Structure 1
Amino acid sequence: MMKKSFNIFMSLILLFTLAGCSSSNTESAPKTRIVKDYSYQKKADKLAKKNKRLKSDIKELQNKITQNQNYLSENDQETFSNNSSDTSKDNLSNLDYTGSQEIVVNNNQPEFSDDDLSTAKGAWQTYGDLDNLNRPTVANALLNTSLMPSAKRERLNWTPTGWHNKKIGSGWLYNRSHLIGYQLTGQNNNPKNLITGTRSLNSPEMQVHEMDVAYYLKKSNSHFIRYRVTPIFRNDELLARGVQMEAQSIGDNSVHFNVYIFNVESGVTLNYNDGTSQIG
């Protein structure tokens, strides 16, 4: 009897202990949730403040952009016009270099007719006659790998108009610049295809486009590109102000450009009348 009472007493103690533990766990859960909710709310408030500051910064920047556009000076407007993609072909000879050696012409659309893009006659190349001042006029081609040379280029000996070469810090000031690069057609000592061009006009400016053209042509013997390079002279000057380069791949738009590149050299003042120059 005594043993049975003792067992009952121990059972009651165990039940009260378990009940106490359960009560303790139940009470601690809400506290944990409260702490977590408070932490999340702090993060949300912080993000909201940051978002508000960003909106304010964006609005301030937009206002500054509007102010700059409204107060653009006449000189800045002229510079913007010279470098815009709406530069007309007929106006190229009147443009002056303003810091960008290459600008886009006619929204980068080459001005070829449907007949110009025909491949019915296969690959070909033609060069306009020299004008009355012995200056090249234009070089046209429908390029294909069949026109590319296999022989190494020989030394150039033709002297184009405006040729007054001299050494500057980076090397020779001028190159005998091909209108259509030798690697594309194999034309070398052709007076109709050579102008006096600065080192930077020849490379990298013109060469970058020529390499793009060559890369596309070499990808397939069936690839064709309509190509035209026009030297731009002002009045009777003997040194070209720049060159216009136009290209359009046939059947796709992989190669597509119409650009004007100024014939200039950093740190050198050129006399376009005869090609003489002054450093500095």
Structure 2
Amino acid sequence: MQSKSAIWVKCLAVLVLFCGGLVTTTAVTPPTVAHATTVYVTRTGKHYFYNRHDRGLNRAKKVYAVSLKTAKQRGLTLSATEKAPAKRRTVKRVTRKKVTRKRTAKKVTTKRAAVKPQGTYTAGSQTYHVKVVNHNNPGFSRATLSTKHGAWQTYGNLDGYNRATAANALLNRKLMPKGQRQALVVNPTAWHNKRIKTGWLYNRCHLIGYQLTGQNNNLKNLITGTRQLNDPGMTTYENRVAAYLKASPKHYVRYRVTPVFKGHELLARGVKMQMQSIGSNRIRYNVYLPNTQSGMKLNYATGLSKVAG
């Protein structure tokens, strides 16, 4: 028969075992990651991480889960990103007072052409003047500025004296020729050409330049013009239009050239050139170019000429 003290010792041992079982079976969540037993490493890295999605592992091709003991045995140290996690940046919201402004109608101003026409051209000792008409406003009707039907060109019929009248077009890159210009063989009215000190007096001047439409030996598109009227006069504007058209297949230019004759004269006094780019004012001109040549006196009735006295 056991003594009371022996029975008390046995009861105390059972109680200890019971309490120990409760402790070992109760799940305890570590208060910090420092108490975790599993860490994450890479094959060749020098650090270990508690957090699998730590930014220090973003570029790792493969991540391994190992025990903390194993990681330390390999000589790995805790990553700096774990030691000092980035502080979350707080952005203060600034509330602004709503200011009610009165709407005022903006004044719409029409932009002038990007390149202003030069009023005077000088080549050596020769000077050629261009007159700007109506502040460079070409004055085309809205209907003729439509691109709905694409590019087009028309040439007025010769008048009763076989003189060219007017040439109109809606220019686009599609109308521009791809080949070289052939020699001109037809003679417009007042064609009495001759050599002068600076070269040939006259040129067969296209109302709409060949480089824009490909029209060549077309009497409806030709007049007798001095070298100065042709170049630098008309060619200067034609080159600007050609460059604009070549820049984009979507570019269009409304274009009109009208020779100005006085009475029954066969030699034009000059030409009026009007042009407007569609949808912009990159090309916007209305100019009068006189059919004159420095140092020469022209007979506009016939086209004959002599050196100015």
The answer to whether the 8 A contact 2:245-2:251 is kept is: yes
- With a CA cutoff of 8 Å and minimum separation of 6, indicate the structure with the bigger relative contact order: 1
Q: Residue 182 of structure 2 aligns with which residue? A: 154
2:285 maps to which residue? 257
**CA–CA distance in 2 between the matches of 1:133 and 1:107?**
33
Alignment root-mean-square deviation, CA: 0.9
Q: Deviations over 1:57-89 (max 9, x none)?
A: xxxxxxxxxxxxxxxxxxxxxxxxxxxxxxxxx
Equivalent runs, 1:200-279 vs 2, <5 Å: 200-279=228-307
What is the alpha-carbon distance in structure 2 between the residues aligned to residue 269 and residue 101 of structure 1?
16
Which of 189, 193, 196 is equivalent to 2:224?
196
Counterparts of 2:295 and 2:302 in 1: how far apart (Å)? 18
Q: Deviations over 1:237-279 (max 9, x none)?
A: 0000000000000000000000000000000000000000001
* Residue in 1 that maps onto 2:154: 126
C-alpha contact 1:101 1:264 (8 A) present in aligned 2: no
Q: Distance in 2 between matches of 1:100 and 1:187?
A: 26
Is the CA contact 2:128–2:228 (under 8 Å) kept in the aligned structure 1? no
Distance in 2 separating the partners of 1:118 and 1:126: 15
1:170 counterpart = 2:198? yes
Equivalent of residue 111 in structure 1, options 139, 152, 169 = 139
- Partner letter of residue 149 of structure 1? P
Q: How many matched pairs? A: 182
- Aligned mates of 2:246, 2:221 — CA distance in 1: 23
Offset of 1:101 from its aligned partner? 2.4
Match of 1:185 among 213, 217, 227: 213
* Matched residue, 1:84: none
Supply the AA of the counterpart residue of 1:231.
P
2:238 partner letter = E
- Aligned residue type for 2:269: R
What is the letter of the counterpart of residue 208 of structure 1?
Answer: T
Question: Identity across aligned pairs (percent)?
Answer: 60
* CA distance in structure 2 between the partners assigned to 1:141 and 1:239 by the alignment: 24
Bigger fraction of residues in strand: 2
TM-score for the superposition, normalised by structure 2:
0.58
Maintained 8 Å contact 2:171/2:252: yes
SS of structure 2 residue aligned to 1:183: helix
- Could you say which structure has the higher helix fraction? 1
Corresponding residue of 1:85: none
Q: Distance in 2 between matches of 1:110 and 1:184?
A: 19
Aligned to 1:115, what secondary structure does the other structure show? helix
Distance 2:139 2:291 in 1: 22
Alpha-carbon distance in structure 1 between the residues aligned to 2:304 and 2:128:
22
> Does the 8 Å CA contact 1:249/1:256 hold for their aligned counterparts?
yes
Other structure's SS at 1:257 match: strand
Kindly provide the amino acid, as one letter, of the partner of residue 214 in structure 1. Answer: A
2:53 matched residue in structure 1: none
**Partner SS state of residue 258, structure 2:** strand
Structure 1, unmatched stretches of 5+, are 1-98
Paired AA for residue 273 in structure 2: M
Output the CA distance in 2 between the equivalents of 1:219 and 1:101: 29
Instruction: Write the distance in 1 (CA, Å) between the matches of 2:147 and 2:140.
Output: 13
Give the residue type in structure 2 aligned to 1:277: S
Matched, 1:145 2:170: no
d(CA) in 2 for partners of 1:173, 1:101: 17
- For the residue of structure 2 that corresponds to 1:208, the secondary structure is helix
For the pair shown, the structure with the greater C-alpha radius of gyration is 2
Q: Secondary structure at the match of 1:248?
A: strand
Task: Confirm or deny: 8 A CA contact 1:242 1:263 kept in the other structure.
Answer: yes
Whole-Å Cα distance in 2 between the matches of residues 105 and 170 of structure 1?
Answer: 29
Post-superposition, which runs of at least 4 consecutive aligned residues in structure 1 deviate over 6 A?
Answer: none
- Give the TM-score taking structure 1 as reference length: 0.64
Once residues 267 and 139 of structure 2 are traced to their aligned partners in structure 1, the CA distance between those partners, rounded to angstroms, is: 25
